Amino acid sequence: MKYIAILFFVVFCSHVYAQQQVKSVVAPGAHTEMQIPLYKQHNVLLQKAQYTAGPYSNSSAGARTTAGTGPIFDTSLWKHRVDSTWGAGLADSLKLKVLNAWWGHFDSLYPCFMHLPAYNWDSIVNAMRTEVSGGVSKGRFAGIANHLLSLINDGHSNFADYAVNYPSSVYLGQPLFRGESGKFGACITPVYDTVALVYNVFPMHPLGLQAGDVILGYNGIPWATLVRTILQYQLPNSVYKGSTDSATWHRYIQAAGENWYLFDTINIQKCDGSIVNLPTSLMTGALYQTFCTEQMPVPGVHIPDYTEYYIWDRSVTYGVVSGTRVGYIYMYDCLDTAKLVNAVKTLVRDSLVKGLVIDIRTNFGGGFLAYWAAYEYLASGGTSWVGYGERTTPTNRMLMTNTGLTSWYDIYDTDPHYFTGKIAIICGPNAVSAGDFLPVMFKHHPRVKLFGKSTAGAFGSYEGFPVGAGFGTAMQPVNFFESATPTYYMTHTMHPVDSMMWLNKDSVCAGRDNMSYDAIRWIESDYVSVEDAPLSSSLQIFPNPAGNSVNIVISNTAASDVNIKLCNMVGSVVMDKNYHINMGHNMITLGLRTDNIPSGNYTLTISSDKGERIIKKLSIIR
Collapsed DSSP state (helix, strand, coil) of residue 300: coil
556 band by pLDDT with thresholds 50, 70 and 90: low
Given a cut of 70, whether residue 219 has pLDDT beyond it is yes
How far is residue 124's CA from residue 132's CA, in Å, rounded to a whole number?
13
Dihedral angle of Cα 73, 75, 80, 81, to the nearest 10 degrees: 40
Q: What is the mean pLDDT of residues 77-90?
A: 96
How far is residue 252's CA from residue 217's CA, in Å, rounded to a whole number?
13
397: CB partners within 8 A, 6+ apart: 107, 110, 113, 121, 391
Reading phi first (left if > 0) and then psi (alpha if -120 to 50, else beta), residue 492 is in left
In 3D space, the residue among 358, 518, 429 whose CA is nearest the CA of residue 190 turns out to be 429
Q: What is the mean pLDDT of residues 564-576?
A: 83
DSSP letters of 485-544? Answer: -TT-B-TTS----SEE----HHHHHTT--HHHHHHHHHHHTTS--GGG-TTSSEEEEESS
Distances (CA, A) of 269 to 216, 237, 275, 441, 457: 7, 27, 4, 41, 32
Given a cut of 90, whether residue 552 has pLDDT beyond it is no
Collapsed DSSP state (helix, strand, coil) of residue 158: strand
Collapsed DSSP state (helix, strand, coil) of residue 590: strand
Query: Tens of pLDDT along 322-337?
Result: 999 999 999 999 999 9
Instruction: Report phi then psi at 10, rounded to 5.
Output: -110, 115
Contact 565, 604 (CB under 8 A): yes
Instruction: Report phi then psi at 487, rounded to 5.
Output: -110, 5
End-to-end CA distance of the chain: 28
How far is residue 310's CA from residue 182's CA, in Å, rounded to a whole number?
12
In 3D space, the residue among 151, 193, 289, 243 whose CA is nearest the CA of residue 430 turns out to be 243
Chain-centre distance for alpha carbon 256: 20
Looking at the chain, the whole-number percentage of residues with pLDDT higher than 70 is: 89
How far is residue 63's CA from residue 80's CA, in Å, rounded to a whole number?
22
Q: What is the mean pLDDT of residues 31-44?
A: 70
9 band by pLDDT with thresholds 50, 70 and 90: very low
Contact 368, 436 (CB under 8 A): no
Given a cut of 70, whether residue 33 has pLDDT beyond it is no
Average pLDDT, the chain: 88
Other C-beta atoms closer than 10 Å to the C-beta of 53 total 14
pLDDT, position 541: 79
Contact 332, 358 (CB under 8 A): no
pLDDT, position 241: 94
Return the amino acid letter for 619. S
Q: What is the mean pLDDT of residues 591-609?
A: 82
Given a cut of 60, whether residue 34 has pLDDT beyond it is no
Q: What is the mean pLDDT of residues 31-49?
A: 76
Local structure of residue 293 (DSSP, 8 states): -
Given a cut of 70, whether residue 498 has pLDDT beyond it is yes
pLDDT, position 15: 27
Looking at the chain, the whole-number percentage of residues with pLDDT higher than 90 is: 71
Return the amino acid letter for 218. Y
207: CB partners within 8 A, 6+ apart: 186, 266, 268, 278, 282, 283
Contact 548, 574 (CB under 8 A): no
Given a cut of 50, whether residue 28 has pLDDT beyond it is no
Q: Which domains does the chain have, with CATH numbers?
A: 306-380+418-457+493-524 (3.90.226.10), 530-620 (2.60.40.2550)
pLDDT, position 58: 58
More confident residue, 601 or 489: 489
Collapsed DSSP state (helix, strand, coil) of residue 556: strand
pLDDT, position 452: 96
DSSP letters of 228-283? Answer: HHHHHHT--EEPPP-SSHHHHHHHHHHTTTTTGGG-SEEEEE-TTS-EEEEEGGGG
How far is residue 46's CA from residue 36's CA, in Å, rounded to a whole number?
15
Q: What is the mean pLDDT of residues 417-429?
A: 94
Given a cut of 70, whether residue 116 has pLDDT beyond it is yes
Given a cut of 90, whether residue 586 has pLDDT beyond it is no
Q: What is the mean pLDDT of residues 213-220?
A: 97
Query: Tens of pLDDT along 236-283?
Result: 999 999 999 999 999 999 999 999 999 999 999 999 999 999 999 999
| β-bridge partners, 584 | 556
Distances (CA, A) of 376 to 19, 379, 406: 21, 5, 17
What is the number of H-type helices and E-type strands within the chain? Answer: 14, 30
Distances (CA, A) of 521 to 286, 491, 612: 40, 32, 19
How far is residue 116's CA from residue 411's CA, in Å, rounded to a whole number?
31
pLDDT, position 461: 86
How far is residue 538's CA from residue 460's CA, in Å, rounded to a whole number?
42
E strands, 341-467, are 355-363, 386-391, 400-404, 422-431, 448-452
Local structure of residue 148 (DSSP, 8 states): H
Q: Which pTM value belongs to this model? A: 0.81
